[in-house]
Amino acid sequence: MFNVKREFNASTEHECLVIGLFNKPTKFEGVHGELDELFEGQLTELVKSGDISGKKKAISKIHTFNKIGAKRLVFVGLGKEKEASFETVREAFGKAFKSIKDAKLTEVAVLVDTFTSEQVEVSDAAHALSEALSLSTYEFEGYKQKSNEPKKEIESVLVYSTLAEEEEVSASLTVGYVYGKATNSARTLVNLPGNMLTATDMANYAKELGGKYSFEVEILEKEDMEKLGMGALLAVNQGSSEPPKMIVLKYQGKEEWNDVIGLVGKGITFDTGGYSIKPKDGIVGMKSDMGGAAAVLGAMEIIGELKPEQNVVAVIPSTDNMVSGTAFKPDDVITAMSGKTIEVLNTDAEGRLALADAVTYAKHHGANYLVDVATLTGGVIIALGNDTTGALTNNEALFEQVLEASYEAGEPIWRLPLFEKDKERVRSSKIADLNNSPGREGHAIMGGAFVGEFAEDTPWVHLDIAGTATTNKVSDLGPAGATGAMTRTLALLVERFEVNSK
């Protein structure tokens, strides 16, 4: 897919040559100046006339008329140089690659040095390039009859850079592409309809991932869960004809199994709400209720590819939440694996029940730090909208690392408060240890606080992606539909993790 060269030769033939351009005075310098000379100053004139623009994310396409080997120049506006960041460069690349794909071009060359600044080094620009390529050109083909017309994709990218060694640029390109492709894997899982992705299907996917990357794989069946007393996950599964699965993937990047990071992802493959059934408009789209599981599996794909020196256990509780004569009911009391009893007041608050047993089981496998990811509450959307993930924590140091990873990944999170009175509301049942639905007030906080009761004293961060797991908007980095939210954040957390969070 990627090749790197130090020296740019203008006579080399390319379908298109991609060039970054900051919004600055109308005079080409450096590599821009060299190209302008070959065009006898005409590029400068086109900038003056506005036909080539450096405004943020402006795309300007120029035919070369055989003045150089490339058939087209694609100028990508980067805005003000002092405001450049990894995120702005990545989005600019995304818009460019979408445009190139739409033009059905398959071979691309990029002058990556033109995308650098004081804030964005060439390694950052190379990572942004390859991540944007995979993210922006992603499509979920679905199940429509296929056209006979051959599909054209970008097949090769030649990257020119004089600012770094070829090995450094190649390494950054590889890492960025791995992050993007794994996010796409998570997107595809979330986009699959519930009848195409059951708990068994998800377990089989995890097995394939384990085989590819030599992870230790454990799949608990219903009988295993019954022996272990996983009454919370089993209650959610009661109404289903599909068997539940507790999926475990273990990656050992250190000699000793210690300082283990536990990644827990909610894997509800379809959520009717159970007897607390969702309205007709709210039930559509509930195939995405396993977005947390998809993020964890995507992160494990990155971990398998890049092999960080960390220990990770991924735990995914998976089932659908259905209505039937055997389904669990409001007013039921169930017992979780931890031994805590739970009064069920809302069967649509099922994700926190599945996570309860998964968090306990992650600790059983030695998790010293916990991050759970879940499409948990509609309340987080009311609080934060559709672009920001909600977070709760019991540990400042661990949260700071998650926050830093999310910032670097371009997946913003916002911390919600968690006070003793919030915990008291979760413990407000008169007949059980916990209440799974203390009321609508502070809904997102109550959902996270419930999960925190099972994390107990283990450093823990909860990420509610109910608003960010899917989008109705097309962006420069992908289509409408699943986003793969938190895949890159989790992987970056693992990659950069420092053992100081106790």
Compute mean pLDDT per 10 residues along the chain, 502 residues long, and list them. 92 95 80 91 91 95 93 96 96 97 95 96 98 97 82 93 96 98 98 98 98 98 98 98 98 97 98 97 96 98 98 98 98 98 98 98 98 98 97 98 97 98 97 96 97 98 98 97 98 93 47
Which residues, 6 or more positions from 338, have their beta carbon under 8 angstroms from its beta carbon? 356, 357, 360, 454
CA angle in degrees (0–180, nearest 5) for 184-187-192 = 130
Length reported for the chain? 502
Say which DSSP state 417 is in.
Answer: P
Residue among 484, 391, 393, 371 at smallest CA distance from 444: 391
- C-alpha count within 13 angstroms, C-beta hemisphere, residue 338: 22
Distance CA 50, CA 62 (A): 12
**CATH no. for 2-144+156-162:** 3.40.220.10
Which DSSP helix (H) or strand (E) runs through 209?
helix 199-213
Residue 244: CB atoms within 10 Å:
25
Residue indicated by tokens 């006339």: 49
**Residues 158/110, Cβ–Cβ less than 8 Å:** yes
**440 annotated active-site:** no
DSSP track, 40-79: TTHHHHHHHHTSS--STT-EEEEE-TTSSSBSEEEEEE--
Distance CA 119, CA 110 (A): 19
State how far the alpha carbon of 34 is from the alpha carbons of 30, 77, 384, in Å. 6, 19, 48
Tokens of 443: 């809904």
List the chain domain ranges: 2-144+156-162, 182-496
Residue indicated by tokens 């106790």: 502
Burial environment of residue 145 by CB neighbours within 10 A (0 to 12, 13 to 18, 19 or more): exposed
Tokens of 57: 């994310």
Handedness of CA 417, 423, 424, 426 (dihedral sign): positive
Catalytic residue among 67, 72, 207, 278: 278
Compute and round to an integer the Cα radius of gyration of the chain: 25
Q: Please, which residues bridge with residue 462 across strands? A: 372, 392
Strand residues in 6-150 grouped as ranges (E): 16-21, 59-63, 72-77, 107-111
464 annotated ligand binder: no
Which pLDDT score, from 0 to 100, does residue 25 have? 64
Residue indicated by tokens 């992870």: 215
Backbone angles phi, psi at 123, to 5 degrees: -65, -40
What angle do the packed helices 291-306 and 166-191 form, to 10 degrees?
150
**Residues 183/136, Cβ–Cβ less than 8 Å:** no
Give long-range contacts, CB 8 A cutoff, 24+ apart: 56-62: 56/23, 56/80, 56/88, 56/92, 57/91, 57/92, 57/95, 57/476, 59/95, 59/96, 59/99, 60/21, 61/16, 61/99
201 annotated ligand binder: no
Distance CA 325, CA 275 (A): 10
CATH 3.40.630.10 fits 182-496, yes or no: yes
SS3 486: coil
**352 annotated active-site:** yes
Q: In the chain, what is the straight-line distance between the N-terminal and C-terminal CA atoms, in Å?
A: 42
Helices (H) and strands (E) in the chain, counts: 16, 20
Same fold for the pair 2-144+156-162 and 182-496: no
Which pLDDT score, from 0 to 100, does residue 147 have? 76
Tokens of 157: 């990218």
289 annotated ligand binder: yes
Catalytic residue among 250, 340, 352, 488: 352
348 annotated ligand binder: yes
CA dihedral 473→478→482→484, nearest 10 degrees, is -130
Distance CA 115, CA 355 (A): 43
